[in-house]
Structures are given as structure tokens and as C-alpha cells.
A and B are shown apart, each in its own frame.
Chain A
Amino acid sequence: MSKRIEVNDLNVYYSKFLAVEEVSLVIEPRTVTALIGPSGCGKSTFLRTLNRMHEVIPGAYVTGEVLIDGNNLYGPGVDPVLVRRQVGMVFQRPNPFPTMSIGDNVLAGVKLNNRRMAKSDADALIEKSLMGANLWKEVKDRLDKPGSSLSGGQQQRLCIARAIAVEPDVILMDEPCSALDPISTLAIEDLIEEMKADYTIVIVTHNMQQASRVSDRTGFFNIAGTGKPGRLIEYDDTTTIFSNPGVQATEDYVSGRFG
């Protein structure tokens, strides 16, 4: 299930504005990669290009290529809808569908692929996915309740369950803990550690302790100034980035010193 991501010379544009410039990196399967950097440096934008979610914004496009196990996401004739079925995403704010029950939320993505599903298969998948998201014990008796009845941390784990139910190759997380309390954050971080066995995970975070706790490799993004494109400054093993970074800007950022 887990796949290798290779990004070559990727530029991201919003209409004429160059938002992210010349990113090249390789993400190995079964690893957690953290993307850190100041606000507006393009890390979320870059993350979204990995499942073509940036195209939701009118006028956004990229040049360069993103290869997942050698297949270019931006090759001719590639359907973004199919890309997103292979590359799941978890957002900053928990967004389970409020109009669906907890169980239906888990199945939301699966039902897009095959509508008719035996009740027993559906139940088994709900249990498996919620187990995978460490949520099963808490919600097993109220699967028919609305997803919005859960706490923020539980909602976020429900979103993770929804993402893994479709068995993607890669899971992208855009600041998944920034709206959560420390206990819920810990629960998600533990979960990321477990999920690493099956998935390639890329996570954007503002929390550097979190990056150092959960990730194997870290990429540091920065911008030279307002209106300038974001760049990938340094990409290395997490321990190296946090203890002995090769670039001064990275060291300033991870140690909390700027400018």
C-alpha cells in the first residue's frame, strides 16, 4: 500500500503568482515526513500539490512532476479524482460530514468507489478503520449518531478513519493537531507512529516538537519576503535538522531565533 513519492522541479502558481519555487525531494515509503516553516511559506500549498487539491482554487497550476511509484500525477490524462482516491488527506480543522452518522462518515469515501456494499462488509470496514484510528472503543456504541457529536480530537481521528478506509497509498496531513488540545494531540501523534507501518505520511506542522517527535525526515520551507515564492531550504533526517542543520536559516528557525 505504501508508496514512494518523488518530486522533481515543482513550481506552483496561483494564476501568475509563483507561490512555491523549484521543489525537488524524495519521500520513502513507510516514513513520516514533516514539513515545517513560517506561515505563508508554501508548505501547505506544496502538500496540496501531492494530491492535486490545490486545483480547487481557480487558476492554480503546477509545472514539474510528482511521481508516486514512478507514475506522474501531472501526466496527460491523469484524473485528479483518481489521484485523490490514492492520496488521502486530513485537514487542519476536523471536518467529518455533519449530515452523516459516524459510521457513514467512515464509509463516505468507500461508497464513492463501490456503491453497493454488503452490510456485513460495511460493518467490518467501519470497525477496521475505526480501530486503525484508535477510535473504535470510544464510538462503537453510537455509530448512528452524527459525526459532529464527537469532541474535536475524536472528530479528527474520525477523519483519519475516513481517510484510511479507502486504503490510500499516501496520507497527507495539513496541521492535523493545531485545533486540538495536548491530550488529543498526543493521541493523534501515537496514531501517526502506528500508521507509519502501512502508509507513507506527509505532515505539515507549526509545532516543532511535534515534527521532532513524529517524523523521520523534515523539510524546512521559507520565503525571502512577502510576495516572493516559498522555497524548500533544507530537507534531511529529522535528527539532523533539529541538531545539526546545514543551513543557517534552518538553525535560526528551529531554535526560535529569526533574522
Chain B
Amino acid sequence: MTTAVERPTLKAKERPGDRIFSTSTIVSGSLILAILAAVAVFLLVQSLPAFVADPEKFKGDATNFWQYVGPLAFGTLWSAFLALLMAVPIAIGIALFISHYAPRKLAQGLGYLIDLLAAVPSVVFGLWGIGVLAPLVQPFYTNLVEWFGWFPLFAGPVSGTGRTTLTVAIVLAVMVLPIITALSREIFLQTPVLYEEASLALGATRWEMITMAVLPFGRAGIISASMLGLGRALGETMAVAMVLSPSRDVIFQLLTSQNPTTIAANIALNFPEANGVGVNILLATGLILFVITLVVNMIARVIINRRKAFSGAN
């Protein structure tokens, strides 16, 4: 029989600095979870009455909550998607120019300018959308409908004011451009010189070097940056609310005067005069926006993780 040997417990000396630091990180880490949970619980509890609300409580011709929120969710995703479609290529182009093409002094100035653009309040963008952009693009829309009206997205009749989904998408694109650009630039600057030199030594031109080394290395970062931009576009309220006169239908056409509004803009426009279960309905649409954002971010995570072995992180 063997007697159990008492294992000496070896414990590192606890220093106050370590303890303070670890406690503070745990607290801040938990805090973010707690806040998220609190928001989710609040939205869930508040939206429950909306799911069983009387048909006449819904604005428009919706008879239940899902019919009400469907077109709004569509409008939110559609305008945000169009905005990203325009903003991401331009943002990557600007970021590449700043990180790999521009002379150093110009690059710094441009970097500041981009960050400044991010600081412009969205109300200003909204005003710019109504006052400047919409009248400016209206004649262009007229031509687009005339020449490319056969293409479903550009079908007429054209809006007389220029305040259409496409205008909103352009405004949103300008708004999300700075954040995507700033993050992409940081990521491109972090491409290890090692890999840039490897491709140059193989006889790559600068553009080939970018496609071989810089872009693949920054892939995960570009996706993350785009998701942050998408988050802003999905939740954007003022610019959309100001530019669009809302309708609650699923409409793909970009240039007509009938345009689907977004969840956030709809809440902003209807909240002041909402009462009783109307408030719950609006909060429930907020819950849907919350879920949409969550799902979109999860999809981005999955895309990033799928080729983890090739990410260069190992």
C-alpha cells in the first residue's frame, strides 16, 4: 500500500499590482456582457406585447407584427448593403493609396482628413443629402431610368425630388467610408515587410505585390472593418429619416418615389407620437435590428474563421 504523499502546494506570490490589474480586466470584461444582456432583456420584455397586439394597432395595412417589421428590416438591410457595396471598394482604394502609394507627407494629411470625415455628425450628412446630393443626382437618375429602365433595379417612374433609396445609400456610403478606410489603412500598414519583399523579389509589380501579400494578409481585417461600417449603416437614423419620405413596402427599385424606410428611421419618426402598445411595437422593431446586427456579425466571424490556417496569424 502506498501512502498518499501530500503534494506541496506551490503558489506564486500574489502581488497587489497583478491583483488590481486582473480584477479590473475581469470587471470590464463582465461589464460589457452585463450591458449587452441588460439591453437584450429590456428589448425582449418590452417587445412581448407587440407580438400579440391587435391588428389595428399597426400603422399601414399590416395585420401582425411580422408583416409590419418585414419591409422595415428589408429596407434596413437593402440600403446598408448598397452603401457597403459602394463604400468598401472605395475605402480599400483610399487605404491602399495612403499606405502604399502616396508620398509620406501626403499620406499623413489624407489620414487626418479621413478621420475628420468620421467626426461629422449624421444630421449634417442628412442635410447634405436633402439639400445638395438629391437635387444634384436627380437629372442623372432621370437619364438612368430613361436608358436603363429595362433593368429592374432602375425601373421608373423616376422620383422628381431625387430623394430615393440610392441617394440614401450614397449618403450612408459616405458616412461609413471613414471608419472602413481608417481601419483598412492600419491593417495594410501592418503587412510584414517580409512578405512584401518576398513578392517584390519574385518580380511582382507594386499592384501584384498588393494582391499577393497585402490584401490576403489584411483579408480578416477588411471584413471586420466592413462589419463595423455595416453596423453604422444599419443603425443610422437621422440621415435616412431626413432624406426619405417613408413607405412600408418591399421595393427593390432604387429610383422611384416609393422607398422602403429603415428600422432606425422608422423608430425616430414614429416614437414621438406613439403611445401604449405602439411604443412596444417600435421597441420590438428595435429588437429585430439588434438580432440582425448580431447575425451579420456572426456571419462575418464564420467567414474569417473558415480560412484561419491561411490567415498568417500562425
Contacts and interface: CB of A to CB of B under 8 A. Distances in A.
Interface in A170-209: none
Q: Which range holds the interface residue count of chain A?
A: 20 to 34
Nearest to B198: A95
A108 interface: yes
A93 B199 CA distance: 14
A53 B200 contact: yes
A112 B204 contact: yes
Given A108-B202, A148-B312, A99 B216 contact: yes
B194 A93 contact: yes
Contacts of B198: 91, 95-97, 159
Interface string A133-167: 00000000000011011000000000100110010
B269 to A, nearest CB: 46
A173 to B, nearest CB: 11
A85 interface: yes
Interface string B182-207: 00000000001011111111111100
A163 B201 CA distance: 9
Contacts of B199: 97, 108
A131 interface: no
A56 interface: yes
A91 B202 contact: no
A81 B194 contact: no
A60 to B, nearest CB: 13
Contact of B202 (A84, A93, A145, A148): A84
A187 to B, nearest CB: 20
B201 A53 contact: yes
A146 B201 contact: no
Interface residues of B, number: 26
A88 interface: yes
B309 A109 contact: no
B223 interface: no
A222 interface: no
A51 B204 contact: no
B139 to A, nearest CB: 42
A163 B199 CA distance: 10
A194 to B, nearest CB: 21
Interface string A66-102: 0000000000000001111100110101011111110
Interface in A100-123: 100-101, 108-109, 112-113
A224 B311 CA distance: 45
A134 to B, nearest CB: 20
Contacts of A146: 309-310, 314
Contact of A109 (B104, B203, B205, B217): B203
Contacts of A159: 198
Listed residue (B104, B310, B314) with the most chain A CB atoms within 10 angstroms of its CB: B310
Contact of A98 (B200, B201, B310): B310
A6 B121 CA distance: 63
B208 interface: yes
Contacts of B201: 51, 53, 84, 88-89, 91, 163
B43 interface: no
Nearest to B309: A146
B194 A95 contact: yes
Given A91-B194, A112-B208, A99 B310 contact: yes
By Cβ-Cβ distance, the 3 closest A-B pairs, closest first, are A85-B203, A99-B216, A109-B202
19 contacts: A53-B197, A53-B200, A53-B201, A84-B202, A85-B203, A91-B197, A91-B201, A95-B192, A98-B195, A98-B310, A98-B314, A99-B311, A99-B312, A108-B199, A108-B202, A108-B212, A145-B309, A146-B310, A162-B202
Given A84-B202, A112-B203, 10 more contacts: A85-B203, A95-B198, A97-B212, A98-B195, A98-B314, A99-B217, A112-B208, A148-B309, A148-B314, A149-B314
